């Protein structure tokens, strides 16, 4: 076995995994805190990417610089959607209602994106991202390196908020015991809206990162939503660390199976890993960060 090739593949998997982690963490938070499976997650990601595209076209803004703006805009949209539609769905009962509403949202937004931007593929790649670096026999291109750094930075930021700041404590408390948290003065409804908004924001920001390295089209949203779900199943719900672990694992599975078994069917392995994990350990490697095992 070619050692350098293995190393390259592992590094590629790490980088891909970092991006998967970032793109999945918002989904994980919503699942952990609200108990909602957000099927609009992928479309938030794409929305962020397209917003970055629009900003670049209109203002000549570099995608990296657009990240904060996109984060804020998508957060606000996410929070608004939660206030109006998602919370209504959750009130109406079953887990499935929020599933269906978020799915409905994804369909509508996807159609809007198609109407505005067209169904074709776009990209956020900038010229300066094409430089490649050689580190110990491994090739990393600028885009991917930047993406990884951005991912880790954003994940770190999220962890900071969740574990060091008061609002983060409120979020975690609501996730564990919303009634008790309410008794301590935490407004669960507000926390939910905040969490949903922030998670959407992270999804949007990750969309820019993804758009920098991959071409994208409005039809990709299902792929990213599913990726997020796989990441959460593999790594555990609700924590950035879980998302990181799950994402890295997913990234490695992707690249390793692509490289050594054939890039024709990476999906079989991803879904296979998902299926296996669900059967063996449904709570993922870390278990549910907030609620413990089922």
Residue 117 contacts another protein per CB under 8 A: no
Q: Is 167 in the site for another protein (CB under 8 A)?
A: no
Q: Does 116 bind another protein (CB under 8 A)?
A: no
Piece of the chain touching another protein by CB under 8 A; list 53-61, 145-153, 268-276, 285-293: 268-276
Cβ 83 to another protein, closest distance in Å? 13
Determine contact, residues 118/54, Cβ cutoff 8 Å: no
Contact (CB, 8 A) for 10 and 251 = no
User: Cβ distance 271 to 224 under 8 Å?
Assistant: no
Contact between 282 and another protein per CB under 8 A: yes
Does 275 participate in binding another protein (rule CB under 8 A)?
yes
Residue of the chain from 59, 95, 121, 157 that contacts another protein (CB under 8 A): 95
Q: Tell me which of 61, 69, 99, 152 binds another protein, using CB under 8 A.
A: 99
> Is there binding between residue 263 and another protein (CB under 8 A)?
no
Sole binder of another protein in the list 72, 85, 256, 285 (CB under 8 A):
85
Site string for another protein, 12-31 (x = CB under 8 A): --------------------
Regarding 88 and contact with another protein (CB under 8 A), the answer is yes
Question: Which CB, 8 or 219, lies closer to another protein?
Answer: 219
Smallest distance, Å, CB 25 to another protein?
18
Least Å distance between CB 36 and another protein? 10
* CA dihedral of residues 226, 240, 140, 2 (deg, nearest 10): -80
Residue (of 290, 22, 103) closest to 180 by Cα position? 290
Q: Kind of pairing, strands 132-135 and 138-141?
A: antiparallel
Which residue's CB is nearer to another protein, number 64 or number 243? 243
In the bound complex, what is the minimum distance in angstroms from residue 257's beta carbon to another protein?
Answer: 12
Q: Where are the beta strands (DSSP E) in the chain?
A: 132-135, 138-141
Residue 206-245 contact track with another protein, rule CB under 8 A, x = bound: ----------------x---x--x---x------------
Separation CA 181–CA 187 (nearest Å)? 8
Instruction: Please give the backbone phi and psi of residue 133, each rounded to the nearest 5 degrees, phi first.
Output: -115, 145
CB of 57 to another protein, least distance (A): 22
CA dist 187 and 174 (Å) reads 9
Distances (CA, A) of 108 to 41, 81, 105, 115: 13, 12, 5, 11
Rounded-to-integer distance, Cα 195 and Cα 189, Å: 10
How far is CA 141 from each of CA 8, 127, 131, 176, 187, rounded to the nearest angstrom? 12, 12, 6, 41, 45
Q: Is 112 in the site for another protein (CB under 8 A)?
A: yes
* Cα–Cα distance, 273 to 267 (Å, whole number): 10
The structure tokens 């920098």 sit at 212
What is the binding site for another protein (CB under 8 A)?
37, 85, 88-89, 92-97, 99-101, 103-108, 110-112, 114-115, 222, 226, 229, 233, 264-265, 267-268, 271-272, 274-275, 278-279, 282, 294
């Amino acid at each position: 076995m070619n050692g350098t090739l293995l190393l390259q593949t592992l590094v590629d998997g790490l980088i891909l995994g970092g991006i998967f982690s970032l793109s999945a963490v918002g989904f994980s938070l919503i699942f952990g805190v609200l108990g909602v499976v957000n099927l609009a997650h992928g479309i938030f990601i794409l929305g962020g990417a397209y917003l970055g595209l629009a900003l670049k076209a209109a203002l000549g803004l570099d995608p990296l610089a657009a990240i904060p703006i996109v984060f804020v805009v998508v957060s606000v949209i996410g929070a608004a959607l939660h206030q109006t539609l998602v919370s209504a769905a959750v009130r109406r009962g079953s887990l499935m209602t929020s599933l269906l509403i978020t799915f409905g949202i994804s369909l509508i937004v996807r159609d809007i994106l198609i109407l505005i931007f067209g169904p074709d593929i776009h990209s956020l790649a900038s010229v300066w991202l094409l430089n490649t670096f050689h580190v110990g026999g491994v090739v990393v291109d600028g885009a991917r390196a930047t993406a990884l750094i951005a991912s880790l930075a954003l994940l770190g930021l999220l962890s900071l908020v969740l574990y060091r700041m008061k609002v983060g404590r409120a979020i975690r408390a609501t996730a564990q015991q919303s009634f008790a948290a309410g008794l301590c003065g935490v407004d669960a409804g507000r926390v939910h809206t905040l969490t949903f908004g922030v998670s959407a924001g992270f999804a949007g920001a990750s969309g820019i990162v993804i758009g920098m390295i991959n071409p994208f089209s409005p039809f990709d949203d299902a792929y990213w939503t599913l990726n997020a779900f796989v990441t959460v199943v593999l790594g555990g719900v609700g924590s950035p660390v879980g998302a990181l672990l799950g994402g890295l694992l997913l990234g490695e599975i992707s690249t390793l199976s692509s490289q050594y078994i054939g890039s024709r069917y990476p999906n079989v392995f991803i879904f296979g890993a998902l299926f296996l994990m669900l059967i063996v350990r449904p709570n993922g490697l870390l278990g549910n960060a907030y609620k413990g095992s089922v």
